[in-house]
Amino acid sequence: MQYPQGSPIGGAMQGFGDELSALAEHYRKMTERQEAFDAEIARRQFNGRIALAEDEVAAKAPADGAGMHEAMYGQLDPYDGRAVKPGLFDKMFGEVLPSMPASQRANFAKQKEAMRMAGAVRMAQRQLQRRKDYEQNQWSGVQRAELDAIAQSNPNDTVAFNAARRRGLDVLDKMGLDPQGKLQAEAAWRDSTAKTRIEALITQNPKRALNLLVPTAFTTQESNQPEQGMDDIITDSVAGTDSSDESTEKGDRVRRLTSNERIRRAFQDDLPIDTLLAELSPGSYDDVVRKARTADAASLIGTHADLDIASQNARAAIINMTPYSGTSGWV
């Protein structure tokens, strides 16, 4: 039925149609807005499940993190970044896609590869960090073993010391360190090995070690011996070897050893102590000097205690001696 234009009924029907159109448009926009909101919530929930899945993959991965990235995001083509082997991400994405609102499904599907790339970078970084942590943990074990070997060996055994140090450096060469990190690790290793060797010397002979670390440590107590210089003191108290190969005759005086000669006598090898000292950090040097002083003081206390006991025993023996009252059998 048609109503004449301009008639009251025709105008009313036209207005009613406009209202229906406006209502339909309002409903369409409201539906799109609601579906967009629901899609955003679903996307966030999906991201949360992805994060949990990454944690689970990491928890199940071996200690070095091998396979973490591939298990989660599949294998990617190194040239174009496209997935050539599916991972857990592909399975999860395929499960969530049908639950997306129809109006948002195509848009969500377009985000798949961008989401994969972001997650792949995140997981790759996580795998690399796991590998670094693994190598560092293994390196800590290597350090303990080699430092124990140095500590238990003779501090004068340069061959054993160099072998232990070389084994450590070989391990560092195989670690995934950047150039700066490698230099720092090597310096720290030389510091640790040098400190351990000196500590072994302190355990063996604290006074000898203190002479090397602080050459003036005993000058005061020896100052009342005018004919004995510092080199002579160190030669006598440190070298512990036959003095015939350490001196030459200059009149009646013993030749004073040079610094390097004194050092070689001290360790009984050709590795100068100044090389070890140069490899010590300031903190390590202060620590070994403190340990040497403490050990030397303890040694002196022990020596004095032994002398006191010996003196007491001697006095007791003299007191308990029976006076001789007989005649001599000698004519």
In the chain, the DSSP E strands lie at 75-76, 83-85, 249-250, 253-254
Reported as a single tens digit per residue, the pLDDT across 59-70 is 999 999 999 999
Is 218 in contact with 211 (CB distance < 8 Å)? Answer: yes
Residue 143 CB neighbours (<10 A): 17
Cα–Cα distance measured from residue 117 to residue 82, given in angstroms and rounded to the nearest whole number: 9
112-134 pLDDT per residue, tens:
999 999 999 999 999 999 999 99
Confidence of residue 29 (pLDDT cuts 50, 70, 90): confident
pLDDT tens by residue, 193-231: 999 999 999 988 888 888 888 865 544 444 444 333 323
Residue 250 sits at φ, ψ, to 5 deg, of: -130, 85
Q: Is the pTM of this model over 0.75?
A: no
For 157-195, the pLDDT digits (tens) are: 999 999 999 999 999 999 999 999 999 999 999 999 999
Q: Which two tokens stand for residue 312?
A: 């007491």
The rounded distance, in Å, linking the Cα atoms of 114 and 96 is 16
What's the CA gap between 196 and 192, in Å, rounded?
6
